[in-house]
A and B are shown apart, each in its own frame.
Chain A
Amino acid sequence: MFNQILFLYCALVIISTGLLAVRFKNPVYSVLSVLVLFFHMAGLYLILNAEFLAAIQVIVYAGAILVLYLFVMFLVNLRQELKVERFIASHRVSAITSAALGICLLAIIPSFKLGAKGAYPVERIQQLTHTKAMGFELYSTFILPFEIAGLILLIAVIGGLVLARKEREEGCNPGTDTCEVKK
């Protein structure tokens, strides 16, 4: 019972802060509401007996990534929301489509049945400790997805560099001040 109330609380806060993060005009407010969202995500992990994930969620997401966001925010001095032309002209069509999808998703909730239990029920995890169980699974059963995820991070780094790097005119040395930088 306590778990259910805790879950409901976390879920509600996650949904509302998620919506707020999108709706706020001031980007700093958005980032801060995402911070609240991340803490409640950690709460969800705790309910699921995943204390390692909860700690990582707080340390990496709330501690590192969001601080990085805030730094970027301060550096580019983004006071106001960037006005971008809408990708899809009609707002109404998208509203109707998403509302229909939302209703569909709500309507199927009663028919949802939990599937087969995996190899790690709560008792086993409590006996084994979550960190150990996850570490073992990550490096044995799920080693392939783990490696692919590493590759994806590598692409993100390379891609970020490629897109952020300034193109230089031919015949000039990088690093010298006289070098004319092509916009």
Chain B
Amino acid sequence: MNMPFTMPALAPIMPEIMLVCVALILIIVDLLYPRNRELLSLFTLFAGVGLIALLFKQQPASTFGNMFIVDPYSIFFKVICLLGMLMTTLLSGRYLEIEKIRNGEYYSLMMFSVVGMMIMVSGADLIVIYLGLELMALSVYCLVGLLKDDVRANEASIKYFLMGGFSSAILLFGISLLYGMTGTTDLAGIAKYCSETGIMSNPALITGFALVISGFCFKVAAAPFHFWTPDIYQGAPTSITAFMSVAPKAAGFAVFGRFLMVGFPELHPQWGTIIGFIALLSMAVGNIIALSQTNIKRMLAYSSIAHAGYALLGLLSGTSEGYSATMTYMFIYAFMNMGAFAIVILLCSKGNRRESLEDYKGLAKSNPIAALLMLIFMFSLTGIPPTAGFIGKFYLLKSALAAGYTYTVLIAVIFSAISAYFYLRLVRYMYMEDPSEEFVVQYSPGLTAALALSTIGVLGMGIIPGTVLNIASKSLIGF
């Protein structure tokens, strides 16, 4: 029997292929020039900037039998992931030196994980989404364990690996149920089959759906699937924590959104309630437990759980207004969180990581610029105007309110007010306490660039808020 085969179009997947090539070249470069570490970060920066430029030129298309879709929605999230990679690269240079991480594979692994994210974001088939997710997660597991002498880092890596494997199993079980019920793994195909046969309210289908949602919630660190977050954020190398809190989270939300919007639009009344519950629980857990933290990385971990809750408010409404609010929020969150982590890395020095909140006491006296920047990022994370955080939260709450979730919005505002306590406590420490130890931070070119980029992002989007939201809402046309 003769089987026809046509070569699928490769143009839509070109950015991913190129990133894989660069990542492989980096490994060879590291082998040939083992002493030249700057070369690797320069390569990564160029690759990131080049790919972002390439992504803006990409036309909407689909390839591999509609398994891989390039649309403005996926391009938007790919840009966030690449931005996360760029900023992490800028942050990494000095941090790697201090912590004596000399692995040339650091940047390659980061790139592979971004490739995984880009595949996830573009995947329209559950198999592709799952494999992209594994590619992303596997690279991050390795990155988390890079501080081999540090017991906490080892614990974090093993925990992340086990919990990640477990959540993948749950996700896969959900996918297998969906596949068994509908006979397809294509998201659009699932939606079509379900609306044609009317099995939407079948308990088995809903269970499969719920299991997949649980898997995604694990990836975006939403409660009650958040237990891994604090330990792993604290144990991982700080630059990787910054990366993890931005890029994989954005990719997770992209898949989450596509799954809900393309796969199960008709189930909205049911999943609206579930997502609302998860969002509120995440905000409660994140904001309340963060109050009692004394380690800045741990505090930011709980804050990241709370922010996952806020971002879910946009998905909750199920409207394109809500989705564009979530997209805008992930974009803004990338800048403000990267900025906060840049300050954490800035304070870190050889033999003294200065990760305790106590270390921030009196920072304004010894290092006024660092304190001022941290103040801006903390204001933005709290959601105080004129920073971008306020704009992001405003759109999210507005979209949820427009969709009729009045009480959810009310509780979200209350939790947001609670969060002000621990963000502003850091500001009080910096400005109103006496320093326990005098030290002057040293800026490196990379850190300065990262700080400048995130400050411009946070203030720029706070003062001129329309642009990103416009792009986000435009990218939803035709969804």
| Contact (Cβ within 8 A) A152 B204 | no
Knowing A117-B183, A145-B131 are in contact, say whether A162-B109 is a contact too (CB < 8 A): yes
B136 to chain A, nearest CB (A): 10
- Residues in chain B within 8 A of chain A (CB atoms): 1, 3, 5, 8, 13, 20, 27, 64-65, 67-68, 100, 102-103, 105, 108-109, 112, 115, 119, 125, 127-128, 131-132, 134-135, 138-139, 141-142, 145-146, 148-149, 157, 159, 162, 177, 179-184, 193, 199, 202-204, 207, 227
A44 to chain B, nearest CB (A): 14
Choose among B64, B145, B159 the residue that contacts A144 (Cβ–Cβ < 8 A): B64
Contacts of A104 in B (CB 8 A): 207
Please tell me if A118 contacts chain B, counting CB pairs below 8 Å.
Answer: yes
Interface size range of chain A in the complex: 35 or more
Most B CB contacts (10 A, CB to CB) among A88, A117, A159, A182 go to A159
Contacts of A145 in B (CB 8 A): 67, 125, 127-128, 131
Number of A-B contacts (CB under 8 A): 106
Nearest neighbor of A104 in chain B, beta-carbon distance: B207
Choose among B13, B148, B203 the residue that contacts A111 (Cβ–Cβ < 8 A): B203
Contacts of B109 in A (CB 8 A): 155, 158-159, 162
Q: Determine the distance from Cα of A117 to Cα of B181 in the docked complex, in whole angstroms.
A: 10
Choose among A117, A140, A161 the residue that contacts B5 (Cβ–Cβ < 8 A): A140
Most B CB contacts (10 A, CB to CB) among A88, A155, A163, A167 go to A155
Contacts of B108 in A (CB 8 A): 158
- Residues in chain A within 8 A of chain B (CB atoms): 87-88, 104-105, 107-109, 111-118, 128, 136, 139-145, 148-149, 151-152, 154-156, 158-159, 161-163, 167, 182-183
Most B CB contacts (10 A, CB to CB) among A88, A104, A105, A111 go to A111
Contacts of A161 in B (CB 8 A): 105
Contacts of B5 in A (CB 8 A): 139-140
Contacts of B157 in A (CB 8 A): 163
Choose among A107, A116, A128, A158 the residue that contacts B27 (Cβ–Cβ < 8 A): A158
A81 to chain B, nearest CB (A): 16
Besides A113-B202, A115-B179, A116-B182, 11 other A-B contacts (C-beta < 8 A): A108-B207, A114-B181, A115-B193, A141-B65, A143-B8, A144-B13, A145-B128, A148-B119, A151-B135, A152-B138, A162-B103
Q: Determine the distance from Cα of A113 to Cα of B181 in the docked complex, in whole angstroms.
A: 6
Knowing A112-B181, A117-B183, A144-B67 are in contact, say whether A155-B204 is a contact too (CB < 8 A): no
Contacts of B125 in A (CB 8 A): 145
Q: Determine the distance from Cα of A104 to Cα of B157 in the docked complex, in whole angstroms.
A: 31
| Contact (Cβ within 8 A) B142 A163 | yes
| Contact (Cβ within 8 A) A151 B20 | yes
Q: Determine the distance from Cα of A149 to Cα of B132 in the docked complex, in whole angstroms.
A: 9
| Contact (Cβ within 8 A) B135 A152 | yes
Most B CB contacts (10 A, CB to CB) among A136, A140, A156 go to A140
Nearest neighbor of B68 in chain A, beta-carbon distance: A144
Q: Determine the distance from Cα of A32 to Cα of B476 in the docked complex, in whole angstroms.
A: 53
8 contacts between A and B (CB under 8 A): A108-B204, A111-B203, A113-B181, A128-B1, A140-B3, A152-B135, A159-B139, A167-B102
Contacts of B193 in A (CB 8 A): 115-116
B166 to chain A, nearest CB (A): 11
Contacts of B3 in A (CB 8 A): 136, 140
Contacts of B64 in A (CB 8 A): 143-144
| Contact (Cβ within 8 A) A108 B27 | no
Q: Determine the distance from Cα of A8 to Cα of B75 in the docked complex, in whole angstroms.
A: 47
Contacts of A158 in B (CB 8 A): 27, 105, 108-109, 112, 142
